[in-house]
Amino acid sequence: MAGAALFVAVFTILGWVQPGYSWTSMFVSELSLGPFGWIQILSFLLTGALVLVFGRGLAAQFSTGAASRVGPLLVQGIGVSLTASGPFTTDPSAMFEQTSAHGLVHGIFGAIVFTFAPISCLVFYRRFRRDPNWRRLAGWTLAAGIVLALGIVVLKISQQPGSGLFEWKGLVQRVILVAFMAWIFAFAFRLRRLSHVRRHGPPAQT
């Protein structure tokens, strides 16, 4: 929960205060290139570490059944990739392609995050729609997976100069990131509540 909230809060605030930065046309990763770049890099590191820990917790929670193996591994892969992408700063998106060594590494780990995100939603949806404890999250999980998948297609198109969406690629990426982090937050919140009920029992009726 903390990792999801931290990541969105950091790139939102930095997008406001970074001189010359446009949150509609520039990627979140480009915040690492400015005077407050160390904050965005630290955000990648901390968020990635927290998502990795969350993935480990999911492995303990879902020990059997649908999504018990692939789901936690996908979330852990996202955590590792977020952490690894932080120190390798991106190239400016106006260059159209990642050309430096650190830009290429950042692009590879970023591609893993954006590939695993919708897949993880759809994998857990298979579990949630059949599990009474998780059924209330099934609809949101499916919706998040669809939004992420469609958003990534639009993002790919927006990265092509002359597409008409090039100046909006930053906004498209933010929609994807906010949707995914909101799902992670809701997922973690539900897991925390269920864990509390298992330890202490349901709240007393008054």
- Residue-wise pLDDT for 24-35, tens only, equals 999 999 999 988
**C-alpha dihedral sign at 89, 95, 99, 105:** positive
Q: CA-CA distance, 28 to 15, in Å (whole number)?
A: 8
Q: Are 43 and 8 spatial neighbours (Cβ–Cβ below 8 Å)?
A: no
**Cα gap 88→77, rounded to integer Å:** 17
Instruction: Answer whether 25's CB lies under 8 Å from 168's CB.
Output: yes
Residue 96: per-residue pLDDT? 53
Confidence (pTM): 0.89
- Identify which has the larger pLDDT, 197 or 205: 197
Does residue 158 or residue 53 have the better pLDDT? Answer: 53
Residue type, 107: G
Domains and CATH numbers, the chain: 2-197 (1.20.1070)
Q: What letter does residue 205 receive in the DSSP assignment?
A: P
Two structure tokens written together for 14: 């930095």
| Nearest one of 92, 115, 108 to 176, comparing CA atoms | 115
The predicted-structure confidence for 101-132, as pLDDT tens digits, reads as follows 888 899 899 999 999 999 999 999 999 999 99
What per-residue confidence (pLDDT) applies to 95? Answer: 56
| 87: helix, strand or coil | coil
How far from chain centre, in Å, is Cα 154? 17
- Mean pLDDT in residue range 48-69: 90
- Model confidence at 194, pLDDT cuts 50, 70, 90, reads confident
Measured CA to CA, the distance from residue 103 to residue 97 in angstroms comes to: 9
Closest CA to 119 of 60, 49, 72: 72
Backbone dihedral angles phi then psi of residue 18, each to the nearest 5 degrees: -70, 120
CB atoms within 10 A of CB 85: 26
Half-sphere exposure of 150 (CA within 13 A, CB side): 8
What pLDDT, on a 0 to 100 scale, did the predictor assign at position 17? 92
- CA–CA separation, 142 vs 128, rounded Å? 10
Counting residues of the chain whose pLDDT is more than 90, the rounded percentage is 68
Q: What DSSP string describes 97-127?
A: S--SHHHHHHHHHHHHHHHHHHHHHHHHHHH
